[in-house]
Structure 1
């Protein structure tokens, strides 16, 4: 990841004339780096070690509202786009974007606008809202990670029956045949 980040910094500084004021290797250090460096725009990946980019975007919005965020990711799921925008991201671009498209998106976001990959924006418009409650999504996410009902119940301080009911409700809301199908649907749409 260091090589990729260094290459991105070089392209932004050299070819595109954008000042890079800081870099971070993981989600948790982004918050400290942004506080220290005061960037106009934080370019984040969703898939970062520690805190993911969507969580970081939400925290930056709350703690440093002057710092706008642009997601630069390989994850082309409309549900993730919606989650990122809901968390406060002002842009969402795929890593297949050209350097010029990235520079344009950064400048747009810095100027107070929104920059979203057009294909994903179109798909996202057709996407239904997340039907899961936060707790249902949390229980489904833990189940997707391999946790059983008893383990989830212990982690979330719930009864095993409540966990099973939440999983069953999630399966029904997603019109899935099985829990495995529900996890697949929720992951594909970026709901967990």
Structure 2
């Protein structure tokens, strides 16, 4: 039987090495690529044609769910498993919407990873039932794509003038977006808006 080809995407060297060692102990798996940035996943996948990609949600470069979406568009035969340290309901909803095949917490017992790789490779979808249920406790993301971009910059500590320069918009437009975000999230201020959106998983 052909060994399952697995691509690993994790920006912390020690964790990536441990994951690779764990999977390589399985007789039916082979790690064919290991990358430390989200923007390297698709090029690596094109070259090695993995069956399953295991991707850290918060990987550097491009967030894991964006990578999963791009990978699905580029290589539909490759199934994706997202690993995360924090189960934010909004993130799980987004994962469900982009058809991620597996969603595992990093606190999951190690033996669940190879089991999940096998299961998603066979066509199943593996997301912890409690995580899936919690995802529906949070409503749909009320923010537009642009509002989400603006709020993400705020979360990173940027001032309106810096955000305006980065997004090539006027400072007034940025302030209008921030006002809209605060109203939509029923937040006290932009800092509170960042907290609400982060906890819901609406900003990566």
| TM-score normalised according to structure 2 size | 0.87
Aligned to 1:7: 18
Aligned to 1:86: 97
Change (3 A) 1:17 1:133: same
Instruction: Spell out the pairing of 1:101-116 with structure 2 (5 A cutoff).
Output: 101-116=112-127
Does residue 148 of structure 2 align to residue 120 of structure 1?
Answer: no
**Pairing partner for 2:42 from 31, 41, 65:** 31
Unmatched tracts of structure 2, length 5 or more: 1-11
Secondary structure in 2 matching 1:141: helix
Change (3 A) 1:43 1:103: same
Give the count of matched residue pairs. 192
d(CA) in 2 for partners of 1:3, 1:55: 24
Q: Is the 8 A contact 2:93 2:136 kept in 1?
A: no
Q: CA deviation at 1:16?
A: 6.5
Secondary structure in 2 matching 1:30: helix
| 1:53-75, Cα deviation, whole Å (9 max, x unpaired) | 11211110111111111001212
Which segment drifts farther, 173-182 or 16-25? Answer: 16-25
d(CA) in 2 for partners of 1:165, 1:28: 32
| 1:133-153, Cα deviation, whole Å (9 max, x unpaired) | 101111111122122222222
Does residue 178 of structure 2 align to residue 162 of structure 1?
Answer: no
Which has the larger share of helix? 1
Aligned to 1:142: 153
d(CA) in 2 for partners of 1:143, 1:125: 27
Q: Is the 8 A contact 1:16 1:100 kept in 2?
A: no
d(CA) in 2 for partners of 1:158, 1:2: 38
Structure 1 runs, 4 residues or longer, greater than 3 Å off: none
d(CA) in 1 for partners of 2:75, 2:123: 15
Which has the larger share of strand? 2
| TM-score normalised according to structure 1 size | 0.92
d(CA) in 2 for partners of 1:153, 1:22: 38
